[in-house]
Structure 1
Amino acid sequence: MTSASRYPVRLFADDAAVRRVAADLLDTSLPRAKWTHEAHLAACLCLLDEYPAFDVEQDLPGAIARYNVAVGGVNDDAHGYHATITHFYIHAVRAHLAEESGGSLVARVNRLLSGARGQRDYPLRFYSRDLLFSVAARRAFVPPDLRPLTQV
């Protein structure tokens, strides 16, 4: 069974819903149950596209870590913020935006979520499971061991 069949993609209804996820992440008001895989990618795309003063590579890690703590989570060696996955998906979202610049915000987000780059297991095409889920990869970005990021 693929990850896509285990977890059906939850698409966004409109631009406002995408913008709300990004804004609510930043002010830590997003309900924990709404911080889904899809929300992570939608927030990243929105922040890249509509927040020019927000340096996604620099600022998103701290925003996610703050959000996790604000909703009662932790950022430790087993839970919470994961540096390599975050930076991998930033790279994937940037690649998507380079190819999919047209259309509304929600259309670009939903195309990302519906494509290969939006799949939950997409990083495992580039990383072995052992490396991706290692403490080292959670704490800091590590380069892929299966395929280079240039193929994202």
Structure 2
Amino acid sequence: MTTEFSPRLFERDSEIRALGEGLLACALPREAWTHEAHLGACLWLLSERPDIDVDAEIGGIIRRFNESVGGVNDDTQGYHDSITRAYVAGVRLFLSETTATSLVERVNAMLLSDVGRRDWPLRFYSRELLFSVPARRGFVEPDRMPLPVAHK
């Protein structure tokens, strides 16, 4: 079964930087925090914010943002640790392989790649495990295959 895949692409580097900065400042409107925004902000953090330890801080950053727009981080909604960490691994892998140079070129190419797909984590996780409470609350190792590791 093939599903239609057409992400919203970005036009300028400044749009992506504004998303990342808005995320950090808890200044984005809730509706701006889309799938594409999640991935664009992740790539921006990994490539342009070496002062932020993404592995250590991403959970707190997203939880704080969710709460700032009236969201709840609990067993059924809000921040999902295993999905987030799967995408962080995917974005790192994409960055290690891309030849695109500008921020917007890298983000758009990633969004159009397999890593950009909404179902990408299901390559590594069964639906049952990925959508479990333990996988939402903390990182759970995949049960289908290991997450990819970026090439140095």
The normalised TM-score by structure 1 is: 0.94
Q: Tell me the residue number matched to 1:34.
A: 32
Please, which of 66, 69, 72 is the counterpart of residue 68 of structure 1? 66
Q: CA RMSD in A?
A: 1.4
Distance in 1 (alpha carbons) for counterparts of 2:2 and 2:119: 9
Number of the residue aligned with 1:144:
142
Percent identity reads 53
Does the Cα contact within 8 Å between 2:6 and 2:112 map onto a contact in 1?
Answer: no
Moved over 3 A (4+): none
Task: Report the secondary structure of 1:81's partner residue.
Answer: coil
**Cα distance, 1:151 vs structure 2:** 7.1
Taking the TM superposition and a 5 Å limit, the aligned residue runs for 1:2-151 are 2-3=2-3, 5=4, 8-150=6-148
1-structure distance, mates of 2:146, 2:68: 35
TM-score (norm: length of structure 2): 0.94
Q: Distance in 2 between matches of 1:51 and 1:77?
A: 30
Number of paired residues? 150
Give the whole-Å Cα distance in 1 for the aligned partners of 2:146 and 2:74: 27
Q: Which runs of 5+ in 2 are unaligned?
A: none
CA distance in 1, matches of 2:34, 2:19: 10
Q: For 1:31 and 1:2, how far apart are their aligned partners in 2? A: 32
- Structure 1 residue 2: Cα displacement: 4.2
Long gaps (5+) in structure 1:
none
Give the drift of 1:60.
1.1
